[in-house]
């Protein structure tokens, strides 16, 4: 069962992001700005698609590049499933907290207000925390070397993006962002 929760988590994550993006597009705001500052960000997409395939392959018995697991434990798999669900809840809360300020990537041309309430009163980067929870949960459900590698690689990529966003926010919002930065932790 946790393997199916793993696959469902991916579907729900994508659905949440696309639903918000479509709703914003209907109001005249483009939500996707991924890769506009650094074109190499587009290299992430094929790796993300392969990750999605690995999750679905494990859940539905499709061929996998590796079936070797570090451990087998139903209890740990269920802990992973709970992490995935908690990550989805945090992602949903974060997207709702952002309202019309939701963007994928940095929107330097049409920035919105600085959001410091809701999920953003607890963490400056709750969406990345949500993704990390999901990735950790997915690894606990499917504990193989490939998902561990993805977990580590995405942690590095998320942190790189957070540093980019912090630099942009510091320039854009100045003292308001600095005060927020002092009040609220980067991650948790």
Write down the domain spans for the chain: 2-183
Give the predicted TM-score (pTM) of the model: 0.91
Place of tokens 């698609």: 49
Query: Which structure tokens are listed for 77?
Result: 């798999």
CA 187 to chain centre: 12
User: What DSSP line would sit under 43-85, residue for residue?
Assistant: GHHHHHHHHHHHHHHHHHT---S----S---HHHHHHHHHHHH
Q: How many CB atoms lie within 10 A of CB 96?
A: 13
Fold classification of 2-183 (topology level):
1.20.120
pLDDT of residue 133 exceeding 90, the answer is: yes
- Give the model's pLDDT for residue 183: 97
Return the SS3 of 175: helix
pLDDT tens digits for range 26-56: 888 777 766 656 666 667 789 999 999 999 9
């Amino acid at each position: 069962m946790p393997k199916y929760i793993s696959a469902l988590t991916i579907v729900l994550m994508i659905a949440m992001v696309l639903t918000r993006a479509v709703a914003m597009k209907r109001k005249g705001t483009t939500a996707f700005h991924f890769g506009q500052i650094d074109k190499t960000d587009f290299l992430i997409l094929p790796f993300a698609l392969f990750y999605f395939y690995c999750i679905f392959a494990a859940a539905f018995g499709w061929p996998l590049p590796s079936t070797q697991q570090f451990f087998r434990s139903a209890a740990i798999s269920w802990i992973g499933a709970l992490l995935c669900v908690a990550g989805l809840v945090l992602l949903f809360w974060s997207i709702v907290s952002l309202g019309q300020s939701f963007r994928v990537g940095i929107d330097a041309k049409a920035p919105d207000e600085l959001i410091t309430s809701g999920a953003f009163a607890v963490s400056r980067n709750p969406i990345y925390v949500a993704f990390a929870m999901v990735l950790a949960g997915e690894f606990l459900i499917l504990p193989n070397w490939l998902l561990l590698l993805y977990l580590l690689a995405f942690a590095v990529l998320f942190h790189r993006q957070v540093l980019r966003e912090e630099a942009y926010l510091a320039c854009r919002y100045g003292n308001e962002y600095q005060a927020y930065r002092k009040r609220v932790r980067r991650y948790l």
